[in-house]
A and B are shown apart, each in its own frame.
Chain A
Amino acid sequence: MIKDVVFSTGKSVVLAIVGCGAITETFYLPALSRYPKILESLILVDNDIKRAKKMADCFHVSKISTDYNEIISSVDGVVVAVPHHLHYRIAKSFLAQGVHVLCEKPLTETIGEARELVSLADTNKVTLSVNLTRRLMPSTEKVKDLLSSGAIGRVHSITFLDGSEFNWPTASGFYFDYKISQKGVLFDMGSHVLDLICWWLGGMPSVIKSENDSFGGCEAVASLVLDYQGVVVNVRLSRLSKLPNTYVITGERGSIEGMAYNGNYITLKSDKGSKTLKLSSDQSGMPGYALKLTSNFIDVILNGARPLIPAQEALASIELLTEAYRTAQKFTLPWYNVKANSYAN
């Protein structure tokens, strides 16, 4: 365990978390609370001083700041957990001064920005990694292994249905500010789903059809048809209704079925029958994934370990997201055919 590594070498690291929103409160701080020495030197940064103070009080952190620029030279690593559109600017500032960065997903809004950050990290010999939590699920790792070992033969199709009513306890509401960004469910949940698809397939599919329900704001439902060397991929994402939250991968010799939010099982089907695999893991659920990710980040800084999800590996899905938005069309939504400007004049 990383806990032993931190203390046995006698070294420690100074971390900062920039952004004290819901993800910091529910994911990063509970995980880092397992390491008192890290908490002792941790710096919480938020331009809302009240919010930073509240988080500091809740998790017994003594250092807070309202300006990340002031603390860059004091830290070894930073967790960037701010609204999406700020990732690029803040991550760039830290990387430029030789600080390791663990960034929330999606890494950046455009593929150009993502490539620039990856290159900057290389130049300055620091790591840049991304929190794509679903890669840490035992189930998604198992799917990767099964596909790599040819367990179901050549893959024919992937169907990924992921949706539930939006209930993320966002503190700032940035998700729905069209003046900041018009990107919605595809950018938010889609960054996870498209990353898994690119990871499993080993490359970036092309976009055949991209539809969503944006009227100039942030889309709440999106649908994609993709193609990767003959593999047909269907993706449906929703912030409005509960979808089955499953994925099905069919191949020439069987299929793999999994649950989007339950990483403990997958079902393998073939001509011989159906088998549900209970996947052994000591990490279960979000607290486990948070611990895995933050422990790895500390290990990366202290001992030069490999990041669990290097930013380089997220580039394919960011490029795919960029393309899906560029080609997107609006769904046909006949119930909105109300007479425009009927009250004008």
Chain B
Amino acid sequence: MQTDIKILVTGAGGYVGGWIVESLYLQGFLKVRAGIRRWSSAARIGRFPIEIVLCDVLDKHQVNTAVEGMDVVIHCAYGSRDATVRGTHNILDASLQHKIKKLVHLSTVSVYGNAEGEVDETVPVQLTGSEYGDSKIEAEQLCWNYFKKGLPLTILRPSVIYGPYSKLWISKFAERLQSGQWGIFKGMGDGRCNLIYIQDLINGILLSLDSDKAVGQAFNMNGSDIISWNDYFQKFNEALQLPPLQIISPTKVKGSSKLMTPIKTAARYVLKHHEKIITKMYVRSLMLQRVMKIVEQRMKTSPGNEELSMFGRKAHYSISKAESILGFVPAYDISKGLAMSVEWLKHETLLF
């Protein structure tokens, strides 16, 4: 693939979109255009001498301007159901109109819902009531509609994407592990932890852009390790060189989750409706600062119900199709991926 192609990446203010833009630039794709929803999310990609444009996917005018003149679109932006579904519709529409040569839509393995066992692309998608997974299914359906209209596209369904800059899977878990409150969840963390290192996903995107056989296809994107969530906690803990993890009994985990769920809901409500007054009180009262820090710490180190359900799900997302059609081979095993992530945590001074 020539590096002088013009590529628009939507959602470039986010973790994955940001990484794609940076990696493309470092690999010589200097004509990458980063589409962001608001300027305040541009701090990370702003470190690179690249074109950054406003591209709120719900704003047809912005989308049209961002897509115009591009050869390729990598669509990562998502959010509320509206942003994911109507936003994808706007991107697809503009891409068809501007005769985009290839569009890669980043979906998720969550479209398989609660499927267990070996999950490949022949397993049907499944609505579960989860806004994220269900809206991604709707977005995929729109993609197929536009493929039929003549837009060349590929859908990628990554598993848990981790690596430097990941708040959800790296900095949050590093904080949990360092708190001493986290551990091995006996009987509740034995589900499959399907992880893909961010750079492997980016290689998968480039491979799918480069392959004519990828057009009109969906591919799972997953790493090479087959480990459980408890294994992940343990390996991450070792990479951080922390003391061995405690074994946490199911009763304790369930009790803590039950206790913290209403507290989390209440905290979210109070912050949403009374943020100004809380901030004012917070600044003035050292006591309140201490109390809020303890509550915040406790909330962060207790897994929620949805998380517990994920930690127990025994599904493995197969990448056989990507291997055979795209030649996709993950280069980062869990040790290498975590080692890079720990380097990043050190750099960000996020280790205590």
Binding site for B on A (CB under 8 A): 161, 165-173, 175-178, 182, 184-185, 213-221, 236, 238-241, 243, 262, 264-265, 276, 284-285, 331, 333-336, 338-344
- Residues of chain B within 8 A (CB-CB) of A333 are 347
Once the chains bind, are B39 and A214 in contact (CB under 8 Å)? no
Once the chains bind, are A165 and B43 in contact (CB under 8 Å)? yes
Alpha-carbon distance A166/B54, docked complex (angstroms): 17
Most buried by A among B23, B29, B286: B286
Given contacts A331-B347, A335-B344, contact A215 B206 (CB under 8 A): no
Query: Which 3 A/B pairs are nearest by Cβ-Cβ distance?
Result: A176-B46, A166-B43, A173-B39
Alpha-carbon distance A284/B165, docked complex (angstroms): 35
Name B47's contact: one of A161, A213, A265, A344 (CB within 8 Å): A213
In the complex formed, the residue of B with least CB distance to A170 is B39
Most buried by B among A217, A221, A262, A265: A217
Is B58 part of the binding interface, using a Cβ–Cβ cutoff of 8 Å?
no
Alpha-carbon distance A175/B279, docked complex (angstroms): 27
Bitwise interface map of B from 46 to 65 toward A, beta carbon under 8 Å scored 1, else 0: 11111010100000000000
- Residues of chain B within 8 A (CB-CB) of A165 are 43
Once the chains bind, are A343 and B348 in contact (CB under 8 Å)? no
Is B9 part of the binding interface, using a Cβ–Cβ cutoff of 8 Å?
no
Name A240's contact: one of B1, B40, B163, B348 (CB within 8 Å): B348
Once the chains bind, are A343 and B26 in contact (CB under 8 Å)? no
Given contacts A264-B283, A335-B164, A343-B206, contact A217 B46 (CB under 8 A): yes
Name A215's contact: one of B1, B25, B29, B348 (CB within 8 Å): B25
Bitwise interface map of B from 330 to 352 toward A, beta carbon under 8 Å scored 1, else 0: 00000000001101100111100
Given contacts A217-B49, A333-B347, A340-B26, contact A264 B284 (CB under 8 A): yes
Chain B residues 39-90 with CB under 8 Å of chain A are 39-50, 52, 54
Once the chains bind, are A236 and B40 in contact (CB under 8 Å)? no
Binding site for A on B (CB under 8 A): 1-3, 22-23, 25-29, 39-50, 52, 54, 163-165, 171, 199, 206, 280, 283-284, 286, 340-341, 343-344, 347-350
Once the chains bind, are A343 and B22 in contact (CB under 8 Å)? no
Once the chains bind, are B283 and A262 in contact (CB under 8 Å)? yes
Once the chains bind, are B171 and A241 in contact (CB under 8 Å)? yes
- Residues of chain A within 8 A (CB-CB) of B47 are 184, 213-215, 217-220
Once the chains bind, are B40 and A336 in contact (CB under 8 Å)? no
Alpha-carbon distance A322/B282, docked complex (angstroms): 36
Name A334's contact: one of B43, B49, B206, B340 (CB within 8 Å): B340
Alpha-carbon distance A217/B51, docked complex (angstroms): 11
Name B284's contact: one of A168, A284, A334 (CB within 8 Å): A284
A164 CB, min distance to chain B CBs, angstroms? 10
Alpha-carbon distance A218/B42, docked complex (angstroms): 10
Most buried by A among B47, B52, B347, B349: B47
Once the chains bind, are B48 and A238 in contact (CB under 8 Å)? no
8 more A-B contacts (CB under 8 A) besides A241-B348, A334-B340?
Answer: A167-B40, A175-B46, A185-B43, A215-B26, A241-B171, A262-B283, A276-B286, A343-B1
Alpha-carbon distance A214/B46, docked complex (angstroms): 9
Given contacts A175-B39, A218-B47, contact A341 B52 (CB under 8 A): no
- Residues of chain B within 8 A (CB-CB) of A221 are 347-348
- Residues of chain B within 8 A (CB-CB) of A335 are 163-164, 340-341, 343-344
- Residues of chain A within 8 A (CB-CB) of B28 are 340-344
B344 CB, min distance to chain A CBs, angstroms? 6
Once the chains bind, are A184 and B46 in contact (CB under 8 Å)? yes
